[in-house]
Amino acid sequence: MVWGDYLLTGVLAMLAGLDRMALLQFMVSRPIVAAPLAGLLMGNPLVGLEIGTMLELLWLGRLPVGASIPPDDTQVAIGATVLALSMERLLGMSGMPVVILCVLTAVPLGKFGQLFDRLARHANGLTLKRNKALETGESVALERLHLKGLINFALAGLATYSSILLIGVLLLYNFAPLVIDLVREAGLGLQYSFTLVGSAALLGLINIARGMSLFCASFAGTLLVLWLR
């Protein structure tokens, strides 16, 4: 059931979006977890694991804490996984080049997460200002306020996922056949670049003396391993 798969991944997008900041925070929202779960629902968890592995390092240092609203890594991971498996169904294209192309498409679309997250926070702020439950101490009304706030965040996650999926399918369906050969030619270098960029971004955020030297040594070590293979 194709539509059933998209419905299930939409539910996952809402639940993982809530786990990202608004509820529980069991770390199901992390790309390394959310992407394989999406792949499992679509019948191919390995693709989700490949995508989650590439994306995890990119967002380890950018958490939605306080007023900080980074691009939605959770929906990027889920959306990229669904896009990759959708391209297999629509165009018969599969393999690592398609996975990389879907990740490159989904990452910039994660900016929609910032937009919808801000809208959800704004809606919750307006609801709180207009409601007198805090002043009157009505417990039932307060519970409804919390529930409404969670629903707003769940809808924000679903809206981000839907935007990534719809725009991504439109772009990939038209342009993937034209650029897939270029991605194949780039080969493993493009795949490893996600790990290198993520490592560099993480080193820039932590307080380690001579972080640049450590990064260069890691880069040289990676090249040595590839050469020895």
Query: What one-character DSSP code corresponds to residue 66?
Result: T
Residues 183, 187: Cα–Cα separation, whole Å = 7
Q: pLDDT tens digits for 142-154?
A: 667 777 777 888 8
pTM of this prediction? 0.76
Residue 144 domain-assigned (yes or no)? no
Number of domains the chain is built from: 2
Residue 134 domain-assigned (yes or no)? no
67 and 24 within one domain? yes
Q: pLDDT tens digits for 35-70?
A: 999 999 988 888 888 888 888 877 776 666 666 677
166 and 67 within one domain? yes
Owning domain of residue 228 = 187-229
Residue 37 pLDDT: 92
Residue 108 domain-assigned (yes or no)? yes
31 and 20 within one domain? yes
Tell me which residue of 100, 151, 101 sits closest to 124, measured CA to CA: 151
Q: pLDDT tens digits for 164-173?
A: 999 998 988 8
Residues 73, 62: Cα–Cα separation, whole Å = 9
Residue 181 domain-assigned (yes or no)? yes
How far does the chain reach from its first CA to its final CA, in angstroms?
42
Whole-number Cα distances in Å, 166 to 64, 143, 163, 204, 214: 25, 34, 5, 34, 41
221 and 165 within one domain? no
180, 187, 75, 3 alpha-carbon torsion, rounded to 10°: 50
